[in-house]
Amino acid sequence: MSVSDPPDIIPVPKPRSRYLIGTSVKQAPSSDRNDVDQLPCPDVQVDTQINSEVETYIKNEVSDDSSSQLDSTTEPPDLQAVETNCNETILWPESLDVSPSSVPDAERTADSTSSDESTVTLNSSKSHDDLNKDHHNSDKTSVTDELMDAQTGLVTSEVIHQVPKSQNLHIKLDKPKKPRAATIRVSRKTQSLTRPQQRTNECAVAQSSWLDVWKGRKHNVLWTTLDGNLVSLWKKRTDKFTEYVFHVTSITNIRKQDHGHFSISLHKKHLEFMAHSEAVQEGWLVSLYATRGKEPVTAPKQHGPLVMKDPRKKVYTAIYGHSLWIYSSKEDFNIGLGMMFVSMNIASVKSTGRHSFSLITPYRTFNFSADSAKEATMWLENLNDVIRSALSYSEVAHRLWSNPSNKVCADCGAANPEWASVNLLVVICEACAGAHRSMSSNRSKVRGLKLDNKVWTEPLIQLFVLYGNKAAKSVWAHNIPPAEQIRPDVSPDQRAEFILAKYRKGLYHKAHPLAASQKLLDQRLREVVCGPNVEETLSLLCSGARVSCSTTDPELHSAISVAESYGQALQTELLRHNEFVEAPDFEQTRHSEEQMEELHGKLDEERFLFSQGNESAACDVLDLTEVISVFDCSAGQTHAFEVLTLTDRLTCSADERNTLLGHMLHIMKVVLAGVVVDDDLVGVCAVSRASIREGAALQCAEVWCTLQEGEMTIHTKEHSSRDTVFLGAQTRCHLQHSDNSILLEFAERTLHMQFELEHSCLKWYELVQRAVCSTTDGPQRSGSVPCSIDRCISHITQYGLKVEGLYRRCGITPHISKLVDALRVSPKGTVLETDELSILDVSGALKQILRQDVELIPQTHKPHWLKAAALSDEVRRLQTYRKLLKQLPPDSHATLAALCGHLHMVQMHSQVNRMTAHNLAVIFVVTLFQELAMNTSVVQLTRELIVRHMEIFTDHMETDGEFITVL
């Protein structure tokens, strides 16, 4: 099929619409499908919990709207339809308009209810015999059959019957009438530098974008790339190994469809794609058609089944060239659809057993086992041969990569670039190499590190090893604004425009001080090449100094001859490659003004999916593990928060506060994974990654900091510890612009916090200043720990865990009384010392405040706790504890949880502080149960509250006698 041939157009439903069909839906055998016009089948999702009270019955007679009926004379689309029994319920989304004539208010009802509330029940009055008369034959392996499987998820041993055409079910694929609850508005800077330019024919086969992808029953949003030879699909742009990969010669058919859809067929298997715009769809189709007619890949050196561990599953592997391809089955191997491939130039292999071996890469270790020792030996021998060949083949690349600056592309930052511009002294990736070639060889001389062996002389290799990207960056990329720096995933148009601006227009270069005079530039070049200062030579060439210049002075030698005469081999090599190139144009034009784009954002586990429309495919994806700061920016009726990465700044907004908090807390839990629970994030207004050091210490610690209600918590992931400091009236905050840091001065300590971005630093300074100015020791909110108790617990946790005899030894009584009075008046402003005796005073003050000011377990509740402690069955006993905890007043519950959590941490350091869980229980049973303290069961109860803290105080849901922990 040529590019100009119109592809087949098949109506395909929007993938974002959600349909729920009763579980009694069955699939008819393919042999029984006869003579029925099939309808476009929407995205279907099983839901076994159907609310019969909201069912809307639709009769067989439907609207006879001729303008929207399916024409029986036209060729029916190759899509399945569905039929349900009369008791089955379907939830229709907002994007569908079901208009039966017998229900005139259906449209109005759909408008007034959400897509997840309006339900439809199809009245199936025909018998199955009547239905079978209307079926027509269809191929079980067709593209749309698999699309149907992907969208419905109804892959069971049961049978799916089709809706007869006589029911005249009318479905419109319109835009949704209101945003889904799962989405949120997102504003960010536009990723393009200026208006996109026309694509050049040279880059026609290069494509990369986020696409919605269906493979059989599996749907995902994947980063998809095409380099002219391979189509690769990745879960994240930073991943090292693909989800799927196949060679373009494995493609048997390409089909264009409606609504941004297109499909790729690989013999019996099909992949369905959806682009976020028709322009992106057209770009992919043009590129895919342009790859047709390529020579098929050569036969593999070895192939066969293996068992891969972690996770354990059977795979099929093959050695192609310098890569090991891994397939999920032999069938996928036969059609060319791989899971991933491993480049042998970064791998090593070793035997791990008689039948097993390991393939080791810097990113992952693959463990394989063969059926026999003979097969394992053959794999080891062949893989070692391929590794030796690959390393020899990429010797130049590895020598250049020995300089860390050459390990990433000088233009976009892609890892392990395999191309270079020998005159510009930059190592670049394949995508940027194409953009360099478009400037022509009189601007940039592009050579491959693994292909052009003849050009790589020893002086040229040394030039790149010693200088390379590091020197070029100081010259060509001296002042690139962060917003204009491109990334590996930019479009070809953006990449080409950036590279033209950088090397042809010289917008970001560091001009030489003599750049105003051509004569002085040329003269200085002849002077510099006499010595080893290659960086200044590069700066002179970048500013327009001429290697060869005509002159009437016969004694004035060229710069090359001067370098040769002084024996400067590296200077000579650089000058030779720049002898006949053109200098930058120095057009002092700037890029277009910064613009913002509005997107819809949806959270997906550890990813943030962005789309231009609420129901359109994803146009971009943010990996939430890249987030370094989150700030709540809500004010009044405006509900918004900011998300910062090293390269992006997103502003997210919603109409309702709860919707906004749901998204913000999800992101916070991802970035703080393993160190917080939901309760820790209540009221948090800021989260940031920072480097922190205390006092005059030189060593910094990488931490995460959270800010809420006048207090800052420092989380250390490495040690799973946290430290809370209070921002009171005595706190002093100083901003230090030079290194994006703030200095926090407390009465007892000083903290130096350095942030990765200036915006994060300024935002934290603003929030801390606001907290310091507004901090008062007023009443606390319901369900929280009293400030005096929280202050003592935090101080002891930070400084007293290693104090021997903590809580058993007594402090000085007058000091304790004075400390208790101060904490009652101003808990945040009270100065707490850090020496051992002062720690004992604080522990004594904590016990006194707990006995005198707080009733952790009310008197009327204690008999129930006593009965629970006497239960012999441990599971039942812990279950009863959890129920009794829910009956406590909110403040008592929160304080008891905080105290037992603190004591749990104390007993974990019992080898140092000698305070075991039993010792702590004997001490604190009086505080908790007073007159019941002599009861051994109650002592055991107190010990269990400490030792089993996580099990008892973590929220649980009861389901059929089992408990499920709510994280």
Tens digit of each residue's pLDDT (9 = 90 or more) over 862-888: 888 988 988 988 889 988 998 898 888
Say yes or no to pLDDT of 317 above 90: yes
What are phi and psi for residue 184, nearest 5 degrees? Answer: -145, 150
What are phi and psi for residue 817, nearest 5 degrees? Answer: -60, -40
pLDDT band at 47 (very low <50, low <70, confident <90, very high): very low
What are phi and psi for residue 24, nearest 5 degrees? Answer: -85, 5
Q: What does the alpha-carbon distance between residue 837 and residue 816 come to, in Å, rounded to a whole number?
A: 11
What pLDDT, in 10s, does the model give residues 740-782?
Answer: 889 888 877 888 898 988 888 988 988 888 877 665 444 555 5
pLDDT band at 271 (very low <50, low <70, confident <90, very high): very high
Residues 22, 87: contact at Cβ < 8 Å?
yes
**Most confident range, picked from 316-320, 547-551, 635-639, 800-804:** 316-320
pLDDT band at 392 (very low <50, low <70, confident <90, very high): low
Place of tokens 């005198």: 852
Q: Which residues contact 440 (CB under 8 A, 6 or more apart)?
A: none
pLDDT of residue 171: 35
Using alpha carbons, list the distances in angstroms from residue 949 to 896, 901, 905, 957: 10, 6, 10, 17
Residues 634, 658: contact at Cβ < 8 Å?
no
**Most confident range, picked from 157-161, 304-308, 679-683:** 304-308
How large is the average pLDDT for residues 467-493?
Answer: 86
Task: From 221, 240, 245, select the one nearest 610 (Cα to Cα).
Answer: 221
pLDDT band at 339 (very low <50, low <70, confident <90, very high): very high
- The interaxial angle of helices 787-799 and 836-852, nearest 10 deg, is 150
How large is the average pLDDT for residues 824-844?
Answer: 86
How large is the average pLDDT for residues 953-960?
Answer: 52
pLDDT band at 542 (very low <50, low <70, confident <90, very high): confident
Say yes or no to pLDDT of 607 above 80: yes
Name which residue leads in pLDDT, 228 or 624: 624
Helix (H, G, I), strand (E, B) or coil at 505: coil
Residues 393, 410: contact at Cβ < 8 Å?
no
DSSP 550-561: --S-TT---HHH
Q: What does the alpha-carbon distance between residue 369 and residue 354 come to, in Å, rounded to a whole number?
A: 9
pLDDT band at 549 (very low <50, low <70, confident <90, very high): low
pLDDT of residue 595: 65
pLDDT of residue 629: 92
pLDDT of residue 28: 39
pLDDT of residue 782: 55
Q: What does the alpha-carbon distance between residue 151 and residue 813 come to, in Å, rounded to a whole number?
A: 71
Q: What DSSP state is assigned to residue 157? A: S
Name which residue leads in pLDDT, 652 or 771: 652
Say yes or no to pLDDT of 27 above 60: no
Name which residue leads in pLDDT, 54 or 556: 556
Q: What does the alpha-carbon distance between residue 83 and residue 134 come to, in Å, rounded to a whole number?
A: 13
Q: What does the alpha-carbon distance between residue 362 and residue 46 come to, in Å, rounded to a whole number?
A: 42
What are phi and psi for residue 689, nearest 5 degrees? Answer: -90, 140
Count the Cβ atoms, other than its own, within 10 Å of residue 119.
19
Say yes or no to pLDDT of 358 above 80: yes
pLDDT of residue 190: 63
783: left (phi over 0), alpha (psi -120 to 50) or beta: left
pLDDT of residue 104: 35
Percentage above 90 pLDDT, the chain:
17
Name which residue leads in pLDDT, 155 or 915: 915
Task: From 694, 646, 336, 339, select the one nearest 482 (Cα to Cα).
Answer: 646
Task: From 724, 700, 596, select the one nearest 651 (Cα to Cα).
Answer: 596
Q: What does the alpha-carbon distance between residue 892 and residue 569 come to, in Å, rounded to a whole number?
A: 79
DSSP strands (E only) in 510-557: none
pLDDT of residue 182: 56
pLDDT of residue 774: 61
Say yes or no to pLDDT of 132 above 80: no
Say yes or no to pLDDT of 264 above 90: yes
